[in-house]
Amino acid sequence: MATDGKHSRRAFLQTAAGFGALGAGGGLAMQLAAMAAASSARAATDDYKAIVCIYLGGGVDNFHTLVPTDSASVAELQKARADLLLPAASLLPISTGSSSGRTAALHPMLVNIQALYNAGRIGIVPNVGPLEERVTREQLANFSKRAPMGAFSHNDGTSVWHTLGLEGARYGWGGRMMDLLTGGKNVAFTSISTGLYNPFGSGQTTEQFRIYPDGIVENFAGARANQTAFLGAPGGSAAVQRIQTENVSDNLLMKQYVALSKRTFEGVTQIQAALDEVRNDLPIVPRPRPDDGSLSYKYNPLITQTRVVARMLKQRGKLGVTRQIFYLDLGGFDLHGGLKLGMNGLLSQFDAAMGYLDDALGQLGMRDRVLVFTTSEFGRTMASNGDGTDHGWGGVQFFMGGGIAGGKLYGELPILSANSPNLTAVSPSLIPDYAIEQSAAAIAKWFGVSETDLTTVLPNRGRFGAPIQLT
């Protein structure tokens, strides 16, 4: 069909506007289009590394997850939260390596994590959280220093953990790492989310690519790649593809746009094919764990996400990548009420997913090449509110894989007493021993970020001490 220049320009502007309005827009399309060269190169995987961020949304109750069990701590917990205490015999003891005789145990549902900890493949940080500067209990009490903005807020706490900025920050420290490690090039499939979109994996040139938990890719229009109906119309997705990929003009700009759109759809098709090729190649049954009476593999949303990660790892050479970051999420931890029952179910899901992921990494021979870590916007108060706990500050963090020196706590168990330097004076919460920057710096260094580039990724790291020693 012949068109004049005026009509060609109008058609292009209309199509381009539709491209942006349909969802992820031109940025993601550019990223997908760039994947052809990367995948055709079949990049060598000798230097491959990945990090997996598991976001436990809502604020995990740290005192219910990693429980101090020495007599002094038990006495304080009895006073603060007697109605929430778990039977001592049900707890899963772990070695703390404490020189002062402090002891600790894990929640009864964390059977896989206990086994992995004992095998040296998981390490635990007892007390980490957001800090603007080092602060003491006394400084907080006399207002000479303060907790960081958003420390007790869901939205800001999530943002600080993932971007080191308050809600609205656009780029995460994961995305900033990828900007550096890809040389500022928009390399496809380096930042993957199987959960909600989050700025953690977004940088100035790095864009997050979404794969649904069931392994279906999201296309550039924000729809499922296998979706035929779109915008309420049967066959709508095919119609969108025709609009974007048919060359109806001799206009050079329009030709370039159509070529870009075609490569975008080809990119979606290729990654979907790569995932489908190994759909049944990896373990699908989680390790045995205590049955909380309601959960099974098929109802565990975190296991479905870890399966996508495992399939992507297996196909890493075919997709032409040597560095990747993955973002997974499991919500529901904001337990102001029903804490005991709620934590049973949630920690059971988390534990099963960690066991599955370790099994998959072992099957792939990649336990030293993939570093898994958790985040949660805050810990919770030591005191009970009756049937749950309220927003706190410092919290517990898990690390797995990546050649870590596991089987130990990174840092000391906090002291639980009326005048403890580790607790705020009001609604006692943990004052973080480690800043987020110290955790992130350890991850970034393992991932390959140079010492000189760490400040680009973590601008405030100089305010705190050395990175957490994971290895």
The C-alpha atoms of residue 155 and residue 377 are separated, in whole angstroms, by 8
90 phi, psi to nearest 5 deg: -85, -15
133 lies in some domain: yes
Q: CB-based burial of residue 230 (10 Å sphere; 0-12 exposed, 13-18 middle, 19+ buried)? A: buried
Report the pLDDT value the prediction gives residue 260, as an integer from 0 to 100: 55
Domains held by the chain: number: 1
Strands 122-129 and 395-401: what pairing? antiparallel
What is the CB neighbour count within 10 angstroms for residue 1?
A: 7
Residue ranges of alpha helices (H) inside 66-134 are: 71-81, 111-118
Tokens of residue 128, six digits? 């980490």
Dist CA 440 CA 105 (whole Å):
26
Domain that holds residue 343: 42-215+279-463
Residue 253 lies in a domain: no
In a domain, 209, yes or no: yes
What the block records as the tokens of 399 is 């690390």
User: Which pLDDT belongs to residue 149?
Assistant: 82
Domain assignment present for residue 455? The answer is yes
What is the Cα–Cα distance from 369 to 432, expressed in whole angstroms? 29
pLDDT of residue 224: 65
What are 376-405's pLDDT values in tens digits? Answer: 999 999 999 999 999 999 999 999 999 999
Say what the pLDDT of residue 167 is: 86
Looking at residue 248, what is its pLDDT?
59
Q: What pLDDT was estimated at residue 245?
A: 54
- pTM of the entire structure? 0.85
- Asked if residue 99 belongs to a domain, the reply is yes
* Other Cβ atoms within 10 Å of 448 Cβ, number: 14
- What's 48's DSSP letter? -
- Tens of pLDDT, residue by residue over 346-371, are 999 999 999 999 999 999 999 999 99
Q: Beta partners for 328?
A: 54
CB 416 within 8 A of CB 460: no
Kindly report the CATH number assigned to the domain that includes residue 194: 3.40.720
How far is it between the farthest Cα atoms of the chain? Answer: 85
Closest by CA to 91, choosing from 124, 114, 123, 118, is: 114
User: How many percent of the chain have pLDDT more than 70?
Assistant: 76
Q: Which residues of the chain have pLDDT under 70?
A: 1-46, 184-186, 219-251, 253-267, 284-298
pLDDT score, position 334: 97
The upper half-sphere exposure of residue 126, i.e. CA atoms within 13 Å in the direction of its Cβ, equals: 27
Residue 236 lies in a domain: no
Look at residue 85 and tell me if it is in a domain: yes
Task: List all residues 6 or more positions away from 468 whose beta carbon is below 8 Å from its beta carbon.
Answer: 125, 128, 410, 411, 434, 438, 439, 441, 442
205, part of any domain: yes
